[in-house]
Amino acid sequence: MNSRFLSDSYVEETRFGFWFLRSHTWQHHVLRVAINDLRGLFDTPLPTDAVLLDAGCGQGKSFRYLQQTFQPARIIGLDADPHSLELSRQEAARLGLEVELIGSDCAVLQLPDASVDLLFCHQTFHHLVEQEQALAEFYRVLKPGGYLLFAESTEAYIDTWVIRWLFRHPMHVQKSAAQYLDMLRDQGFEFSAGNVSYPYLWWSRAKDFGLLERLKLCKPKPFGQREETLVNAVVRKPLPDAAQ
């Protein structure tokens, strides 16, 4: 594989993982559900004529849902893998969307300061080794008042034998839901409890994929009595004091 854009700060996906990111399950049960959930976490109107950055766009399967849900004026797709970018280019052409594609690692974004209104980061962060640097870059390129749409699997999901077997991740940087939220706050993002959700979806329960619940052999553990496997958050870069 051409490694022009790949770096030590990004852990490349397995062959199975690459195939999975093209699957119906990924598009319908993961991407679509996450984007709909993130839309519901906004407590202010969406930015108009927005510039939307898809950080870790993969094969471009998010473009259709992002266009339908947020109706941005401009979409930028960014990924460290050249082959994924080529597939993203094909996907954008198939959808009839104009998408600007950038080959770059998230820890060094090739974008100007304060140039993005919405930054979508879905199931990308747990692949990044330099997470603090990437989050600082997200903060830099967002306009004041801009939003980071953050959707991640937690360590409780990533550190299971099924996921370790099928996928590849930097295990030393995996975090709990609370640790991810602390990282967002420490970077300076603002959000409340109403801007955060903890989906407990069947595919995120790698021990049995929710099979026992579907067979009515047990009930799902309620919030507060389980290890959260997913965290979604819509967080905002603060406006200058005079603009608030």
* 9 is a domain residue: no
CB 160 within 8 A of CB 204: no
pLDDT exceeding 70 applies to what percent of the chain? Answer: 75
Residue 176 scores a pLDDT above 50 = yes
pLDDT digits (tens, 9 = 90+) for 190-243: 999 999 999 876 555 655 555 556 556 556 666 666 788 899 999 999 998 755
Residue 96 scores a pLDDT above 80 = yes
* 164 is a domain residue: yes
Q: Which two tokens stand for residue 176?
A: 């709990």
Q: Which residue range forms the structural domain that includes residue 109?
A: 15-239
Tell me what pLDDT residue 62 has: 96
Q: Higher model confidence: residue 154 or residue 4?
A: 154
Model's pTM, two decimal places?
0.85
* 111 is a domain residue: yes
pLDDT digits (tens, 9 = 90+) for 136-163: 999 999 999 999 999 998 987 776 666 6
* 52 is a domain residue: yes
CATH number of the domain encompassing residue 130: 3.40.50.150
* 5 is a domain residue: no
The mean pLDDT value for 102-131 works out to 93
